Amino acid sequence: MANEQEWQNAWKSLREEGPLTGPEHEARQETIRAMMSQRAAAFDEHVRNYLETDGRIGYIRDMTPSGGSETMLHLILRTIGRKTGRVILVPLTYAAWADEYILVASKGGYDKHPAWYLNMKARPTVEWQVLGKRFTGTWREVEGEERQRIWDYVSVYYKGYADYQSRTSRKLPIVVLTPTGTIEEKWAVPEEPLTP
């Protein structure tokens, strides 16, 4: 994503704009739609590269433009659309937690939960790929003391999370994935765009 920094800067100035009305509001909505579509295209490219190279491209990524470090680790989460029933693959930053995987449903501090989180919650099990390995397993959302302990870790791992949290009244959900088995069959790279 060559223009990640530009995208982040533009997104930041949009966030900082006050309320608009009439045509100005419409114009801004159009800009937001265009930006979200660019974002979807970047996710799409990330997933394709990851699956084609078993993560050699896309496992580790420089996330400094969005407040992370140069060395964030990534997995591909496979969910089923809760309305569409379609397979959805999303690239997500994860934090290692012994033999488990931590995800933060941050959506950049947006006020709504990310779609992957809502889709994941609709089923008791979930699948994900790390490098060339696919796992099936369970997920749990952590609370209380465990959440605090994990937050202390992930907010240092990805310093942008604190900023994301400050932007939204949502308490950012922290999800732990626990593998229970592996999946041998490779996932096909979808021909159509992965995200609408």
Partner 1 sequence: MAEDAGQGTGWTPGSLPEVPGTAEWARMRERKNANSRAHLVDYIQSDGARGYFRELPAENGPGAVVHLVLRTVGRTTGRPYLTPLIYAPWADECLVVASKSGHPKHPAWYLNLAARPEVEWQVRDRRFRGTWRVAEGEERTAMWEFLCAYVKIFPRYQARTSRLLPIVVLTPSMRIEERWTVPEYAYVGLGAD
Binding site for partner 1 (CB under 8 A): 56, 59-60, 69-73, 96-99, 130-133, 135, 149, 152-153, 156-157, 159, 179
Residue 98 is given by DSSP the state: T
Query: Which residue number, 55 or 115, has a Cβ lying nearer to partner 1?
Result: 55
Query: Which residue number, 25 or 56, has a Cβ lying nearer to partner 1?
Result: 56
Select from 28, 10, 31 the least CA-distant residue to 20.
28
Query: Which residue number, 80 or 162, has a Cβ lying nearer to partner 1?
Result: 162
Cα–Cα dist 105/177, whole Å: 13
Query: Which residue number, 38 or 187, has a Cβ lying nearer to partner 1?
Result: 187
Any idea what the Cα angle at residue 14 is, between residues 13 and 15, rounded to 5°?
Answer: 90
CB of 102 to partner 1, least distance (A): 11
Select from 138, 61, 53, 56 the least CA-distant residue to 92.
61
CB of 152 to partner 1, least distance (A): 6
Taking a C-beta distance cutoff of 8 angstroms, is the pair 163, 104 a contact?
no
Q: Distance between terminal CA atoms of the chain?
A: 19
CB of 99 to partner 1, least distance (A): 6
Tokens representing 146 are 């465990």
CB of 73 to partner 1, least distance (A): 6
Cα torsion 69, 189, 85, 134 to 10°: value is -60
Query: Which residue number, 17 or 70, has a Cβ lying nearer to partner 1?
Result: 70
CB of 168 to partner 1, least distance (A): 23
Select from 45, 54, 15 the least CA-distant residue to 31.
15
